[in-house]
Amino acid sequence: MHTKSVERVITPKPSHFVGDGFIVHNFIPNVAQLSMIRMSPFILLDYNAPHYFPPTDTPRGVGVHPHHGFEMVTIVYKGNIAHHESAGNSDVINEGDVPWMTAASGILHKKYHEQAFSKQGGDFQMVLLWVNLPAKYKMSPHKYQGITKDLFSKVTLNQAGDTAKVIARNYHGTIGAAKTFTPIHLLNAKVPPGGRANFSFPTPYNTTLLAIQGRITINQKEQVDAEFCTF
The 10s digit of each residue's pLDDT in 119-160 is: 999 999 999 999 999 999 999 999 999 999 999 999 999 988
Alpha helices, DSSP H only, in 8-90? 34-38
Q: What is the mean pLDDT of the chain?
A: 90
Among 5, 15, 27, which residue's Cα sits nearest to residue 228?
A: 27
pTM to 2 decimal places: 0.91
| Residue 44 lies inside a defined structural domain of this protein | yes
Handedness of CA 173, 187, 123, 99 (dihedral sign): negative
**pLDDT confidence tier of residue 221, bands split at 50, 70 and 90:** confident
pLDDT, mean of residues 220-230: 77
**pLDDT confidence tier of residue 36, bands split at 50, 70 and 90:** low
**pLDDT confidence tier of residue 35, bands split at 50, 70 and 90:** low
Choose the weakest-confidence range: 55-59, 122-126, 194-198. Answer: 194-198
Structure confidence at residue 31 (pLDDT): 64
| Residue 2 lies inside a defined structural domain of this protein | no
pLDDT, mean of residues 60-88: 94
| Residue 199 lies inside a defined structural domain of this protein | yes
**pLDDT confidence tier of residue 164, bands split at 50, 70 and 90:** very high
Domain of 205 in residue numbering reads as 9-230
Structure confidence at residue 57 (pLDDT): 97
Instruction: Give, in order, the Cα–Cα distances in Å from 201 to each of 172, 186, 190.
Output: 9, 10, 18
Per-residue pLDDT reduced to its tens digit, 96-109: 999 999 999 999 99
Choose the weakest-confidence range: 43-47, 73-77, 187-191, 227-231. Answer: 227-231
Among 8, 69, 2, 3, which residue's Cα sits nearest to residue 208?
A: 8
Q: How far apart are CA 186 and CA 208, in angstroms?
A: 10
pLDDT, mean of residues 194-214: 88
- Residue 213's contacts (CB-CB under 8 Å, 6 or more residues apart) are 226
DSSP at 11:
P
| Residue 4 lies inside a defined structural domain of this protein | no
Structure confidence at residue 231 (pLDDT): 67
**pLDDT confidence tier of residue 226, bands split at 50, 70 and 90:** confident
For the chain, the domain total comes to 1
| Residue 3 lies inside a defined structural domain of this protein | no
| Residue 83 lies inside a defined structural domain of this protein | yes
Q: How many CA atoms lie within 13 A of 1 on its CB side?
A: 5
Higher pLDDT, 193 or 178: 178
pLDDT, mean of residues 181-200: 90
Q: List the CATH number of the domain containing 150.
A: 2.60.120.10
Instruction: Give, in order, the Cα–Cα distances in Å from 11 to each of 32, 105, 210.
Output: 14, 34, 11
Structure confidence at residue 132 (pLDDT): 94
Q: Report the percentage of the chain scoring pLDDT > 90.
A: 61
| Residue 1 lies inside a defined structural domain of this protein | no
| Residue 164 lies inside a defined structural domain of this protein | yes
